[in-house]
Structure 1
């Protein structure tokens, strides 16, 4: 029988989450307020002065108090890796303290020890989107200030020293390129009076420097550890073969390349010189910045992939999310193009450009879901649509590996249902596990396995071979 799966026994199959999405317990264990605690809805809808009862993330699904139960379920599924984040404000409640919060540090010790019981490898984001301590955002304007880099680095050194024997894969930031779309949510930068394009690039530069310096610190503590920094991939196809559309797609894709060029090559790419000159963008960049960025590039590329987009010369949407419709692709309930082949294209493109190992840190399928009874009378969710979408993407990853691309891990978004960060609701359910936490804040928080739970378990235990059985491909 011809070989079908190219994943192999060492491929890191797993799932993902982030502290602000699922921990809850915002007022427990000495945790300080974070940016997310004052953004109850969509980031574009702005912030509140203080945490408000309509912010479902304050309680969320209470992983903080139920982590043993949840990690046991991840272990039952056979996760080889679990990607999550450390809540910065659990360790330094304001971000400026001389000493870290021991209760917060001990919580993550407990989480990593629990993961070790099931042989689950931690992939840890040092700070996920919106997890900056609120004090640093309000006092220093987040990463608009160079001072915040130093506070971030102190935090990094603290947690890496603490967990150096438990964590071997670190991510400095999550989806770093979203700083252009949501400066406050991503980088703690006030949007009250607007944020200019030049200011956004300056904030991004400070995050590049912070990431490079964090990588340097991590490597000094443990030279064998692997460090990355995630970006969100939104591949743009030209809307038509018209040369102007092809050019538009190339130029828009360069905003993705801009971030990965700096991560992987350690320098600003040549094509940004003209871009900055034509827009009169002048950044505060020191020789030390250039030096530290060049010397501390990433060990692997890590990225989120949910959909592709199209570009048109007549409808330029430079450096933001495109709403143009690709006539050859279906869209999901959220208006996103479903494009598994696009993932193979992205993987090959990045491999051609950088020759670095890759880890897909987010990919998934969200739906409005309700519990129903299965044939045995058990409460579950019959999520065949999730099985179909994830299966199609995994088969395209398999094709990329067969192409010769080095891909060593894949974590779905998400492992378990939790509050959506981009909408602030429980309506978008992403996980293999349904959680009884409802839009009005009610619910028992009881966990239920969806149909996809057993499907993913079989995918993992067969090293991907189950993806090619009749039951999965029909």
Structure 2
């Protein structure tokens, strides 16, 4: 394996899952602040973040005095970022993928002027990173649409949100142009297919009877927002790189039947549709049939096609956790799995985590080769990782050999993809420090190299502890991926 010199090694976090301080220093609520935790016995496949929400539901959450909303406190990164970044630096990070909470900058999303305290917070975080030689790689929108835009405009279903987003990204590009050189427009943009609320900040009050119409109209607006952000970034920070990101779906046909292979191909096309538009600057031909079959009529303005063409991303990034199997006909006896917007048939040849996410390192190599072959642009692995129930051992340490084994196999396959010719320039492991789950709003599904002493109900000391994987990943970085 031969990762290039200057390869970016680090970890990934998201503001809504780690910062806390959800109503501090002028921050407004985001859609993530309405995500409850439903208890220890919840169905792990019941992803609360993908449920439809109405205005009534949102106000009920905001006024709820009894419910548990872990994303509102996270791991208190807002007050402990210096300690956390120092630990990342000791591990050897040269990149930290993080997000800016949009509603910390524009609390309702539509203000005339930004919130200075929010801007100053990220100035301080970026300065702390740069002090240790850590490059911030910033996601501009990571499931953090300001709740005000959802309540008063209908989120990304309303074209006005495109221009609120453009104003927000222009503000942060100007503010941080000398501190941040790597950007991502939207986290896992394709997850809007699973949830209009989490992916687009869209409430039921604004939708029509044709869900496909609403979904693809919002997607069009997201594409416009991404393209405008790319153009603004290139104008304001000419030496920066700005990319797109998908939750990459890799699947295998259940058999050699042509029907199964066709379904597998079409599911992959649906996934790649998002990067096709953001990397190529136009809609692929296959989507028009989908629109026709579902009575979708995208409302465009005459300048939209040129906006997309002028706003092509510089690189493609992805999250990759698992694979599934595709089959044309499914019955009640078919064993299914799901995770991180992946829904499909269980693969009998793969092992599963405690959350039934199937481990498939070879699928990562396939995904990297497929993306690079399609776009011939640099690739960044924005998320890989294993969520498990870590326990403190009698010796007071966390022995997470299972995480080491998992990441060793995934990084090894990433290296093989590099040897295959893929231009891969970095890897950030998801949840490098324990944080609140996006899908189930729990702390007990832990990904980090660093353990945080807080439970699903926000109780604990919030003390940080290095796991065995912390020391392992430090050696991986020191050796540039040679010592696994």
**Worse overlay, 327-336 or 343-352:** 327-336
Look up the match of 2:471.
454
User: How many angstroms apart in 1 are the aligned matches of 2:375 and 2:467?
Assistant: 38
Partners of 1:60 and 1:437 within 8 A in 2: no
Partners of 1:362 and 1:413 within 8 A in 2: yes
**Offset, 1:60:** 1.5
**Offset, 1:57:** 1.2
Look up the match of 1:368.
389
**TM-score normalised to structure 1 length:** 0.94
**Of 404, 408, 413, the match for 2:430:** 413
Look up the match of 2:44.
none
**Of 203, 209, 215, the match for 2:218:** 203
Per-residue CA deviations over 1:156-193 (Å, capped at 9, x if unaligned) read 00011000000000111100000111111121101366
Per-residue CA deviations over 1:228-258 (Å, capped at 9, x if unaligned) read 1211001121111111111110011111111
User: How many angstroms apart in 2 are the aligned matches of 1:181 and 1:331?
Assistant: 22
**Offset, 1:48:** 4.1
Per-residue CA deviations over 1:296-346 (Å, capped at 9, x if unaligned) read 1010001100011111111399xx742311122112111111100000001
**TM-score normalised to structure 2 length:** 0.92
Look up the match of 2:45.
none
**Of 273, 276, 279, the match for 1:258:** 273
**Of 321, 334, 337, the match for 2:355:** 334
Partners of 2:9 and 2:427 within 8 A in 1: yes
**Secondary structure at the residue paired with 2:303?**
helix
Partners of 2:326 and 2:344 within 8 A in 1: no
Look up the match of 1:299.
314
**Offset, 1:366:** 0.5
Look up the match of 1:39.
35
* Equivalences, count: 457
Partners of 1:213 and 1:296 within 8 A in 2: yes
Look up the match of 1:80.
94
Look up the match of 1:106.
120
**Secondary structure at the residue paired with 2:344?**
coil
Q: Measured at CA, do residues 422 and 108 of structure 1 come closer, stay the same or move farther in structure 2, by a change above 3 Å? A: same
Partners of 1:15 and 1:413 within 8 A in 2: yes
Look up the match of 2:230.
215
Look up the match of 2:364.
343
Look up the match of 1:9.
5
**Of 45, 69, 75, the match for 1:55:** 69
Query: Where do 5+ consecutive residues of structure 2 fail to align?
Result: 38-47
Does residue 302 of structure 2 align to residue 287 of structure 1? yes
Look up the match of 2:164.
151
User: How many angstroms apart in 2 are the aligned matches of 1:8 and 1:252?
Assistant: 33
User: How many angstroms apart in 1 are the aligned matches of 2:423 and 2:449?
Assistant: 27
Alignment RMSD (CA, Å): 1.6
Partners of 1:177 and 1:259 within 8 A in 2: yes
Per-residue CA deviations over 1:258-299 (Å, capped at 9, x if unaligned) read 111101111110111222222221111223111110121010
- Runs of at least 4 residues off by over 3 Å: 44-48, 50-53, 191-195
**Offset, 1:195:** 6.5
